[in-house]
Amino acid sequence: MFSSGTHTTASTVEFAMAEMIKHPKVMEKAQAELRHVFRGKDRIVESELEKVSYLKMVIKETLRLHPPLPILIPRECQDWQKICGYDIPPKTRVLVNALAINRDPEYWDHAEAFEPERFAESGIELTGTNFAFIPFGGGRRICPGASFGLATVELLLAQLLYHFNWELPDGLQPQDLDMTEIPGLAIKRKNNLHLIAISP
């Protein structure tokens, strides 16, 4: 669980930073919130992250657009099932495409856009009970490391945003940032993200 969690956690942090670099107002808002909540403190205390709501929205939106596992772990039907008019016989392997569900315009306005504010009043949480948003799967089969992974992502991003301002190297502009993903068991960026940290 820990070895698989490190790759997906790192990938989620990288996608979140890339999305915020592409959307500087989102980064500024997340930094302003963190710098207000932790004003004058040398380090971020995990227990106080409960006071930070916008960063949580940024993480949810990152996971919506870039779920750690785009295709969830396969399941096998035990009995005959009828789903959307299709007969599914026993012993059939079923794959759930979390990436397609999380970007389905039937459930999400501007489904391909990075808009953390969509979670402000939605009431949608990362519990696996809203099946339009399942970056960690859902129900009894939800990822057992989801809570640990989320806490790690939240703490890492909070530290990065609180202590530094960020910019692209060599005069690159946010619109130049390539967001191409490499498909596979776990989703990752085609090109590594290179940023310059600047003391605020």
Question: Which residues does the annotation place in the binding site for heme?
Answer: 143
User: Where is the binding site, in residues?
Assistant: 143
26 close to 57: Cβ distance less than 8 angstroms? no
**How big, in percent rounded to 5, are the helix, strand and coil portions of the chain?**
45, 10, 45
Q: Which amino acid is at 23?
A: H
**Pair type for strands 181-182 and 188-189:** antiparallel
Dihedral sign (CA 140, 74, 9, 24) = negative
